[in-house]
Amino acid sequence: MVAPEDEELEEETTARELEASILRAFREDESRRTAPLSPENAATIVNAMRGVSFSGYTPEWADRVPEDLWLDYLRRLRGEATAATPRI
């Protein structure tokens, strides 16, 4: 027979291990999501997206931001030099 104190200690230990495991999983996920793409992976994505078509559909927000601002924003995301433009 297991003493109630031992059961409580075991439950607390299990709970701490579970919480530590969850926190570790969140950190690993965040690390993967924020890791920079390699140039090869970025090129693969860009090439794949060239074939994407929305059949003439334009989202309503697309007309509110001039195309040159979007292009500068995307270039900044890729680390390319751009002309000074306001942030989106």
Q: Distance between CA 50 and CA 80 in Å, rounded?
A: 19
Residue 45 lies in a domain: no
Residue 76 lies in a domain: no
pLDDT in tens, the chain (88 residues): 667 888 899 999 999 999 999 999 999 999 988 888 889 998 999 999 998 888 888 888 888 888 899 889 888 887 776 555 455 5
Q: Distance between CA 74 and CA 79 in Å, rounded?
A: 9
> What is the total count of domains within the chain?
1
Per-residue DSSP letter, 38: P
Q: Which residues contact 68 (CB under 8 A, 6 or more apart)?
A: 85
Residue 13 lies in a domain: yes
Q: Is this prediction's pTM over 0.85? A: no
In 3D space, the residue among 9, 20, 48, 69 whose CA is nearest the CA of residue 77 turns out to be 69
